[in-house]
Amino acid sequence: MMAALQVAGGVCRCPPRLLPAGRQQRRQAAVPPARAVASGATTTVEEEEGKVRLGESSVAVTKLGIGAWSWGDTTYWNDSEWDDKRVLSLSLSERRLKEAQAAFDASIDNGMTFFDTAEVYGTALMGAVNSESLLGGFIKERQQKEQIEVAVATKFAALPWRFGRGSVLSALKKSLDRLGLSSVELYQLHWPGIWGNEGYLDGLADAYEQGLVKAVGVSNYNEKRLRDAHARLKKRGVPLAANQVNYSLIYRTPELNGVKAACDELGITLIAYSPIAQGVLTGKYTPEKPPTGPRANTYTPDFLTKLQPLMNRIKEIGASYGKSPTQVSLNWLTCQGNVVPIPGAKNASQAMEFAGALGWSLTGEEVEELRTLAREIKGIKMPIEES
């Protein structure tokens, strides 16, 4: 039975938690994913079939997707404890491969069948294995055992030497070869082109019309670029299905720069990457034990000290639901409406934990309390969306 939920201005219209017999009653009933439909300045969200429709396209995906950035990567995530140290007889690369495949299988087993990758994830120039190739291999191997439905999203890299619509089709066909697929559910422009985006958008429309992709999207687009892309594709009769941007409880720029409101107004799904702030919202990092590698430059001991009041409250709320900080942080995003988070799963246990963010909901009061606490935290800057 379909239900409707009104979302306006990025605020979750979740019902308050009931208080029978003097105790708070947890709201654990399953909350089916939603389809966003443009309706004036707000978005009407229709619950259907346990999936969320990407914008006004024909593609429906699970309410929580899985990001495959770390699969094959040897630069940004190379010190991220990705390998399974229990498999001591295998090389590091073999252990990482087994962990990535286990993450894929666990995602499928737990009902998360939407996977996001990109041609630049795991570049061969750095001696890595391409993420698209790994994902394609995982899909093929799993399908040899059983019939599965998987929705794949990948991205075009707007490199300075790539010009015009033809470059999009050329890159897409190479991505399809690596994936071993004849088409993908979603093809996105990974970031704005420095020479303009008109040709790239025309290339997306060409790919859509040729049946190579079922839906098209952009990534890291600010409000103006998003509206321009929507208008240009609309002239071709092609819906702009998604804008993939950095969005988490502690990085809420899409709420502040007009991107979230524009997505809701235009009927464009917001796909949230780094939804747990690259692991920081899991609670495993502290001022005494900050992350290593490139993340250490952003999530410093000083930043993590300021984060502690928010993390303490996340843990308290999570305990009342029997949920982890990771699951609370992901659920907070789904409560915003018209948002599909895509946390990166490096192993099976992470994928299984992500699945625990579904099937329940924070109350509206909890959503706003966490937002208020998060406003006190400063220091994260991701300038790509504001350039």
Model pLDDT, residue 384: 55
Question: For residues 285 and 299, is the Cβ–Cβ distance under 8 A?
Answer: yes
Question: For residues 36 and 338, is the Cβ–Cβ distance under 8 A?
Answer: yes
Q: Is the pLDDT of residue 8 over 60?
A: no
Closest CA relative to residue 325, chosen from 337, 333, 313 = 313
* Token code pair at residue 153: 């999203």
Closest CA relative to residue 151, chosen from 213, 71, 243 = 213
d(C-alpha 163, C-alpha 383), whole Å: 24
For the chain, percent of residues with pLDDT exceeding 90: 70
Model pLDDT, residue 122: 81
- 223-272, pLDDT tens digit by residue? 999 999 999 999 999 999 999 999 999 999 999 999 999 999 999 999 99
Model pLDDT, residue 385: 53
**Residue with more model confidence, 162 or 34:** 162
Reply yes or no on whether 121 is catalytic: yes
Task: Please give the average per-residue pLDDT across 337-365, as a whole number.
Answer: 97
CB atoms within 10 A of CB 383: 7
* Token code pair at residue 191: 């970031």
d(C-alpha 313, C-alpha 328), whole Å: 10
- 143-183, pLDDT tens digit by residue? 999 999 999 999 999 999 998 999 999 999 999 999 999 99
- Considering the chain, what is the average pLDDT of its residues? 84
The DSSP secondary structure of 168-234, one letter per residue, reads HHHHHHHHHHHHT-S-BSEEEE-S--TT-SHHHHHHHHHHHHTTSBS-EEEES--HHHHHHHHHHHH
Active-site hit among 121, 221, 247, 273 = 121
Helices (H), 236-300: 253-256, 259-266
**Residue with more model confidence, 130 or 309:** 309
- 83-102, pLDDT tens digit by residue? 434 444 456 578 888 999 99
